[in-house]
Structure 1
Amino acid sequence: MSSGTRCRGGHNGSEPGAMRPRANATGRAAEGCGAVSVAFPLTMMIAGIVGNALAMLLVSRSYRAKESRRKRSFLLCIGSLALTDLLGQLLTSPIVVSVYLSDRAWDAVDPSGRLCAFFGFSMTVFGLCPLFIASAMAVERTLAIRAPHWYASHMKTRVTKAVLLAIWLAVAAFALLPVAGLGQYALQWPGTWCFISTGDSLAFASAFAVLGLLSLVLTVACNLATIKALVSRCRTKATAPRSSKQWGRIATETLIQLLGIMCVLSACWSPLLITMLKMIFSHTSFEHCKGFSGETQSSELHKECNFFLTAVRLASLNQILDPWVYLLLRKILLQKFCQAASAVSKCSNNECKERSITLSEEIRRTAA
């Protein structure tokens, strides 16, 4: 999903924007471009594959542990998110690397244009699926903490599996709409990736951006509700039995993971989704980037094209950062959250330290 170069000059018409892959202007980047090395997408691909594979391994071990019975639905969501990101890396990154190795000439890799449609389909599926899965995770944690009795009675792992399957199928059906003539996937500037055309398929592009933003809003709202519930619980006196305390530790750990993934999703996807909506409402597209040359470009055009490319690169980082949030930031975020919760809710420092130490021991036992 990594894309492109940062072009500063080139021949007129050699920079394809939202254009059909079989057009006369090919996907070759301008001769005067300051090219990004093939090492950039290759490094991103390796980091994404390694991170998601490790996350899936850790989730698998945690899922089989007896102590994780109460959060198996959440672990299923985490594992599904890692699997989705891994598939996205495996299906899109090799194409980008091949285009780079072909001197960023898309037509040399995809003379028929079918690979462009597949790439755009993959970008859509593996863009919306992580957003929807993150929303499902946030809803699951909200129900687990705010309605524990209902959750214990109704939220079984088979329900979680059905929801995840429904998300994948629904997103795949949505991404196939261009096959039915509702929307179009097109080669995007600077000719190293394909995505939804904002010039010819406003309804389809609008639906993608709106669905993505709605999922982000739902994720944020559910996490805020969960935080409020946890802070309220922390303010009560520690009179609950040990099992309830253990459930509180599990809930706090998963909330920290949710917050990390939520921040990554928002930071990575918000710029691209908002930019797409801005283009749609202003009835513009980035097709004008195909004429991006050193002699004719304006300062505003230069900024718009580069910002769009930066937004795409940020979105591509989502598949890489998600698993590392789960792998590396669990313990660190938990400690920081305990400190903040202690200051806000006047919890005792000893209680927070005890929770952190107990969780660290549980993590070491799970990883053993």
Structure 2
Amino acid sequence: MRGPRGEGGAPPLCPRLNHSYPGLYPGLWAAERSAAARANATGPRAAGQDCGSVSVAFPITMLLTGFVGNALAMLLVSRSYRRRESRRRQSFLLCIGWLALTDLAGQLLTSPVVIAVYLSQRRWEHLDPSGRLCTFFGLSMTAFGLSSLLVASAMAVERALAIRAPHWYASHLQTRATRALLLGVWLAALGFALLPVLGVGRYAVQWPGTWCFISTGGAGNGTGAPRDRGGLFFASAFAFLGLAALAVTFACNLATIKALVSRCRAKASAAQSGAQWGRITTETAIQLTGILCVLSVCWTPLLIMMLKMIFNQTSVEHCKTHTEKLKECNFFLIAVRLASLNQILDPWVYLLLRKILLRKFCQLRKRGIREQAK
């Protein structure tokens, strides 16, 4: 298993995190820099200081907000699941609970490592000379990220079947089947993430040197050496699987909205029933649209950038030797944070905001009834 090292044996690290890092000053060490080198380093917009969005505040904030949201969602799901009147929704509640557990576990396994590296102000290779921590970190990022996408896709399929084929759904999709499906999804994501351990693909330290993820540069790393086909396959497969999951979620949510609108129009003849279906349709359509927007905004930039890097035979591992790529590296860091933001927004989009909106709607409706009675 190869260690998580970039070109020249050292991973990329932003100088603002560790001022002793020589990667952006090849051949120049702190004690040997000339006066001219110091002048260049302290000049306006020094290339080594263009660290953009690098800050320990980001992982700390995301860890705290993600923990609160997902823990609250799991608590609400647990309470609702035990109620008798929630039996018809047990499959959907299982999916939401599993998604919240997946997001929470992913954050707890990765965010503390990032925070520790930031605070230590040491190069990753000093903290992890064997490369095992990098492999574990990249495996966790890949497994839990892909699992979240696949679970969201499974939930979209489940909702589409419940609306468009209710009889088949009631007779075939029991809670046992849902549990088996969710377990299968998670095992498939874990099996895929284990491929670099088996020699297919690799995980590498990424800009700014505080985290690890799938290497998109191949074995050659842009140096003219033959590229690693296994690495290209692994990185491409992750990106295409993610985009496929987004496409399935998009198609199923649109099909669900269309079916709800058609059923709402059919029920419009009866005043009371039509009003109830209109409310349900509006609420569900808003929620599904929100899910589509959140998934697209959070995941599309990362997946598209990965494919772009694969086709251009580049990687953010090159940031320490190619200062002109720092802007692209900062964009990639922002894209990763957007994908991580999805783990924070999931419980709110799927559960918490829906409950808040329902309560607000009920309050407004009761207020309107009281005003009409007066």
TM-score tier by shorter-chain length is: 0.7 to 0.9
Q: Residue 20 in 1 paired to residue 5 in 2? A: yes
- Residue 78 in structure 1 maps to residue 96 in structure 2: yes
**1:109 Cα deviation (Å)?**
2.5
The 3 A distance-change label for structure 1 pair 22 and 38 is: same
- 1: CA distance between counterparts of 2:7 and 2:317? 15
The residue that corresponds to 2:346 in the other structure is 322
SS at match of 2:320: helix
Residue matched to 2:267: 237
Unpaired stretches in structure 2, ≥5 consecutive residues: 20-47, 219-230, 367-374
Corresponding residue for 2:118?
100
RMSD: 3.0
2:305 is aligned with 1:313: no
C-alpha offsets along residues 253-283 of structure 1, whole Å, 9 cap, x if unaligned? 5665444333222111100001111122233
Q: Is the 8 A contact 1:28 1:104 kept in 2?
A: no
CA-to-partner distance for each residue in 1:36-90, whole Å, 9 max, x for gaps? 4423211211111111000000111111222222111111100000000000011
- Residue 265 of structure 1 pairs with residue 289 of structure 2: no
- Indicate the residue corresponding to 1:199 in structure 2: 217
Letter in 1 for 2:255: A
Distance in 2, matches of 1:124 and 1:89, equals 12
Residues 357, 163 of structure 1: CA spacing in aligned structure 2 closer, same or farther, 3 A cutoff?
A: farther
Q: How many angstroms apart in 2 are the aligned matches of 1:206 and 1:328? A: 34
Question: Are 1:115 and 2:139 an aligned pair?
Answer: no
Report the secondary structure of 1:195's partner residue. Answer: strand
My pick for the range that moved more, 133-142 or 323-332, is 323-332
Match of 1:274 in 2: 304
The answer on whether the counterparts of 1:21 and 1:107 sit within 8 Å (CA) in structure 2 is no
Aligned-partner SS, 2:10? coil
In 2, the alpha carbon distance for the partners of 1:356 and 1:164 equals 38
After TM superposition, list the pairs within 5 Å mapping 1:50-89 onto structure 2.
50-89=68-107
- Gap change, CA 1:322 and 1:227, over 3 Å in 2: same
Q: Displacement, 1:157?
A: 0.7
Q: Kindly report which structure 2 residues correspond to 1:168-187, keeping only aligned pairs within 5 A, or say none.
A: 168-187=186-205
Provide the residue aligned with 2:183 in structure 1. 165
Structure 2 residue 305 is matched with structure 1 residue 287: no
The aligned residue for residue 227 of structure 2 is none
Between 1:189-198 and 1:205-214, the stretch displaced more is: 189-198
Secondary structure of 2:70 counterpart = helix
CA distance in structure 2 between the partners assigned to 1:330 and 1:55 by the alignment = 11
Alignment match, 2:241 = 211
* Residue equivalent to 2:253: 223
TM-score, length basis structure 1: 0.78
Asked if 2 retains the 8 angstrom alpha-carbon contact of 1:138 and 1:222, the reply is: yes
With over 3 angstroms needed to count, the CA separation of the structure-2 counterparts of 1:235 and 1:241, relative to structure 1, is closer
Paired residue type of 2:261? V
Structure possessing the higher relative contact order (Cα contacts under 8 Å, 6 or more residues apart)? 1
Matched, 1:29 2:14: yes
Aligned in 2, Cα 1:287/1:268: closer, same or farther, shift over 3 Å? same
1:156 and 2:183 matched: no
Paired residues, number = 319
* Shift of residue 156, structure 1, vs aligned partner: 0.4
Higher-Rg structure is 2
Give aligned-pair identity as a percent: 70
Aligned-partner SS, 2:205: strand
- The alpha carbon displacement at 1:101 in A equals 0.9
Cα separation, 2, equivalents of 1:252 and 1:138? 17
**Pairing 1:334-349 to 2, within 5 Å after superposition:** none
Instruction: Output the CA distance in 2 between the equivalents of 1:66 and 1:277.
Output: 47
**Matched residue, 1:365:** none
Classify the secondary structure of the residue corresponding to 1:329: helix
DSSP-derived class of the 2:9 partner: coil
Deviates more, 1:258-267 or 1:20-29: 20-29
Q: CA deviation at 1:20?
A: 1.8
Length-normalised TM-score, structure 2: 0.77
Q: Which residue matches 1:344?
A: none
